Amino acid sequence: GNSVTQMEGPVTLSEEAFLTINCTYTATGYPSLFWYVQYPGEGLQLLLKATKADDKGSNKGFEATYRKETTSFHLEKGSVQVSDSAVYFCALSDRSNTGKLIFGQGTTLQVKP
């Protein structure tokens, strides 16, 4: 079945450091891929998405590229801020049009000043 695997956290970085959170997936067909972010005490919010191979999703300085050959969708940011501290979830949605999401386990990011 479909699945998503993220790198384990927590990830602790200093402000202005480079961020990479790895995400790989297993799926039949060509899923859509997402990164969601959860700030403390809140629900999840869509950060970025990509719907086909080689698409790059970007938002708020974060980027991720849909790599079909490596079944990956790694999240990157060139310079993190304290306000980026949150839990990040990689997710996929198959093409069944049900909108169901399959999530990775989440990666906690803590950015220190």
Partner 1 sequence: NAGVTQTPKFQVLKTGQSMTLQCAQDMNHNSMYWYRQDPGMGLRLIYYSASEGTTDKGEVPNGYNVSRLNKREFSLRLESAAPSQTSVYFCASTMNTEAFFGQGTRLTVV
Binding residues for partner 1, rule: CB under 8 A, are 4, 32, 34, 36, 41-46, 49, 51, 89, 93, 98-106
Q: What's the first-to-final CA gap in the chain, in angstroms?
A: 41
Q: d(Cα 43, Cα 59) in Å, to the nearest integer?
A: 18
- Nearer of residues 45 and 81 to partner 1, judged by Cβ: 45
- Nearer of residues 31 and 84 to partner 1, judged by Cβ: 31
- Nearer of residues 11 and 101 to partner 1, judged by Cβ: 101
Contact of 106 with 23, CB cutoff 8 Å: no
Query: Could you tell me the smallest distance in angstroms from the CB atom of residue 111 to partner 1?
Result: 21
Cα 37 to its chain centre, rounded Å, is 8
